[in-house]
Amino acid sequence: ETGVTQSPTHLIKTRGQQVTLRCSSQSGHNTVSWYQQALGQGPQFIFQYYREEENGRGNFPPRFSGLQFPNYSSELNVNALELDDSALYLCASSQVDSGGAATKNIQYFGAGTRLSVL
Task: Using the minimum distance from each CB to another protein, give the nearer residue, 70 or 104.
Answer: 104
Residue from 11, 13, 20, 44 that binds another protein (CB under 8 A)? 44
**How far is the first Cα of the chain from the last one, in angstroms, to the nearest whole number?**
32
For residue 82, the SS3 value is coil
Q: Is 66 in the site for another protein (CB under 8 A)?
A: no
> What is the per-residue burial (b if ≥16 Cβ within 10 Å, else e) of 19-57?
bebebbbbeebbbbbbbbbeeeeebeebbbbbeeeebee
Stretch that binds another protein, among 12-20, 63-71, 72-80, 98-106 (CB under 8 A): 98-106
* Segment holding 40, helix H or strand E: none
Q: Is 99 in the site for another protein (CB under 8 A)?
A: no
Q: Is 28 in the site for another protein (CB under 8 A)?
A: no
Residues of this chain that interact with another protein (CB under 8 A) are: 2, 4, 6, 31, 33, 35, 40-45, 48, 55-56, 58, 88, 90, 92, 94, 96, 101-102, 104-112, 114
